[in-house]
Chains A and B, each alone.
Chain A
Amino acid sequence: MMETLQALMGGFAVALTANNLMLAFLGALLGTAVGVLPGVGPAVTVALLLPLTTKVEPTGALIMFAGIYYGAMYGGSTTSILLNTPGESATIVTAMEGNQMAKRGRAGPALATAAIGSFIAGTLAIVLVTFLAPVVVELALKFGPADYFSLMVLAFTTVSAVLGNSALRGLASLFVGLAIGLVGIEATSGQTRFAFGVPQLMDGIEVVTIAVGLFAVGETLYSASKLQALDETLEKVKGRVWMNAADWKRSWGPWLRGSAIGFPFGCMPAGGAEIPTFLSYAIEKKLSKHPEEFGKGAIEGVAGPEAANNASVTGAMVPLLTLGIPTSATAAILIAAFQQYGLQPGPLLFISSKDLVWGLIASFYIGNVMLVILNLPLVGIWVRLLAIPKPQLYAGILVFATLGVYGMRQSAFDVFLLYGVGLTGFIMRRYDFPVAPVIVGLILGPLAEQQLRRALSISQGDLTVLVTHPISATLLAITAVVLVGPRAWKLLRKNRSS
């Protein structure tokens, strides 16, 4: 406990230097500005801004990325409320209820309760992260390669097979991501795989190209080709912007409950912020004195899910930093940001790069304060970004996409690759394949392969090592339950009722 506080103080000493404060502010500002653009979710925001930091030293760069990460989340909820286009699945609920509030002239209070709720949830969650992370690090140090491999298998399964309309399509996305991750030179043996003799492919495929291509270019192609059919109306922020006494009274409960629901979900190396937002919405609807307002703009339905979303997103820092396991596309791209500097998140990072890790954690406290300041008074500016007409908006997004992709390696080949990936993204969007598993597979696949080979070289090729180690066996058992459980349950119920 004392050690943790000391480490955190050390972290604040790093984060509070003028340079790092400025980088955190810049990150939060850019993250909000880009994240607010419709069609640009948090994952793309982080990916687009990845080349920005090539000349910044790692600690400062990662502090800036943390700012971009949660700035994009804040920006995303503004878009959801005013435009009803959830940039990612975790803001679907916010879009639903918040947009209804905006339609009834209560956009201001909706934005305010989302921003303050995110601040409270983010702050509570980072306090919990501070004290939980060292505990998980202790545990993670006991993990062998076999355990890591099984943990990654569990993460793969939950990211791809639990959500969405079809587990099979989620798994297809995951395996495509794993396949893309194989391209290039393999780390252990130094052999080139699936490069087709193209020198650019020998270095592997940049995660930026895949993320920006699948999300931003795919989205651009889709909305251009369905232009007449897609109709969105931007709600104006009119009337009282601030929350009144009744709003406060109705918001604080959902904020706290949302935080309590979101955090544990974020911490699990299984992840996704979607489930806690839906859970929080359902609970608030049950507890509310005004259940009839739900679906027509109940403030609890914005306050709770937004808090749950933010607590979960912050909680996701636990598996990310201590185990190196990303639980969302955005977290996977953050891992790519670490890898740019030759750093691998995991328990060893807490020992080898203590200043960096704790500086990063401390910057979350500071960033949360910055964001609530940026978002409440400046909301008028962000709203103006939403009013950019579609042709100019998407053209601008593609210019930034090209910059982001070209900037990583200075290669025209990557621009063509970006288009190719965009076509794939278009098809995935059209046939409802989830995109996040591709990114997670791409980042985590090569790491899983390394861990498996390490495990097998210790056991001299004996695959049973995966089930004879207790931690690994437990993790695989959970995976099996997650994968088979829901189907078995369905069959059981069907049999019983017939």
Chain B
Amino acid sequence: MRGPWHQFAVAAGVAAIGVVMLALTPTIEGGAGYAGVSPRFFPVLIGIGLVVIGLGLVVDVWRHGFIGVDEAAEAAMPMDWASFGWISASLIVAGLVIEKGGFVIACTALYVLCARGFNSRRYGLNIVVGLVLSAAIFVAFNYGLGMTLPAGILPIPK
């Protein structure tokens, strides 16, 4: 009984990380020194390890699929890609906005988008809660703990 194609992809992915590492290792500079061990020694070791483990996983999937992964149960609860997309958008928007727009605006947007990913459409409530939460964190960390979170476009004194 073989595992499904996406399990093969995951197993092959592990091996692929190893292959990429091994391909990039020769570009690392530095001599072996007294130790006889250069900065390339560990990367090669780990790269080979990943390739071997990845191939082992491919064999596992070929023989019986991943043990302990119940594909029937997974199929019974299909992926909600829209929710997945909203959550992804929330973090990407936060990353794009945080420096220019500031921490408070970025995290309010993050809050509203993430809540939307969990099917909450009460935008008014979420904007208010998100704003209060991020503003409270901003104040506590900037003034209380001496950390510098970006103020962005909001006219907040340093």
Contacts and interface: CB of A to CB of B under 8 A. Distances in A.
Nearest to A177: B46
Contact of A166 (B33, B68, B84, B116): B68
Given A176-B17, A191-B29, A391-B119, A403 B67 contact: no
A412 interface: yes
A161 to B, nearest CB: 11
A392 B130 CA distance: 9
B28 A193 contact: yes
A55 B83 contact: no
Contacts of B35: 188, 453-454, 456-457, 461
A391 B126 contact: yes
The secondary-structure label for the interface of chain A is: helix
Contact of A224 (B33, B118, B145): B118
The secondary-structure label for the interface of chain B is: helix
A188 B42 CA distance: 13
Contacts of B134: 399
Contacts of B86: 224
Given A398-B91, A432-B68, A461-B37, A179 B106 contact: no
B79 A226 contact: yes
Interface string B1-21: 000000100100010011001
Nearest to B14: A172
A379 interface: no
Interface string B38-76: 110011001101100110110010000011110000101
Nearest to B138: A403
Contact of B7 (A164, A193, A229, A431): A431
B94 A391 contact: no
A191 B27 CA distance: 11
Interface stretch (A292-300, A363-371, A415-423, A482-490): A415-423
Interface string A410-443: 1010011011001000010011100000000000
B147 to A, nearest CB: 6
Which of the four size classes fits the interface of chain B?
35 or more
Contact of B114 (A188, A191, A220, A461): A220
A460 B34 contact: yes
B39 A193 contact: yes
Contacts of A165: 66-68
A201 interface: no
Which of B54, B96, B110, B115 gathers the greatest number of chain A CB atoms within 10 Å?
Answer: B115
B91 A415 contact: yes
Nearest to B28: A193
A228 B68 contact: no
Interface string B74-100: 101101110110111011101110110
Interface in B114-158: 114-120, 126, 129-130, 133-134, 137, 141, 145-150
Interface string A217-238: 1001100111111100000000
Given A390-B118, A399-B133, A457-B33, A419 B88 contact: yes
A216 B122 CA distance: 24
A252 interface: no
A264 interface: no
Given A391-B119, A392-B115, A394-B114, A229 B149 contact: no
Given A399-B111, A415-B95, A176 B14 contact: yes
Contacts of A460: 34, 36
B33 A398 contact: no
Contacts of B90: 395, 398
A54 interface: yes
Contact of A172 (B53, B80, B92, B111): B53
Contacts of A168: 53, 56-57, 60
B105 interface: no
A182 B129 CA distance: 40
B92 A419 contact: yes
Contacts of A418: 91, 95
B94 to A, nearest CB: 5
Interface in A159-218: 164-166, 168-169, 171-172, 175-176, 178-179, 182, 186, 188-194, 217
B66 A224 contact: no
A493 B53 CA distance: 26
Contact of A431 (B17, B21, B69, B145): B69
A176 to B, nearest CB: 7
29 contacts: A51-B147, A168-B57, A171-B53, A175-B18, A175-B49, A178-B46, A179-B50, A186-B39, A221-B88, A225-B80, A226-B79, A229-B76, A229-B77, A230-B77, A395-B115, A399-B133, A416-B91, A418-B91, A419-B95, A430-B74, A431-B69, A432-B69, A449-B42, A452-B37, A454-B35, A457-B33, A457-B34, A457-B35, A457-B36
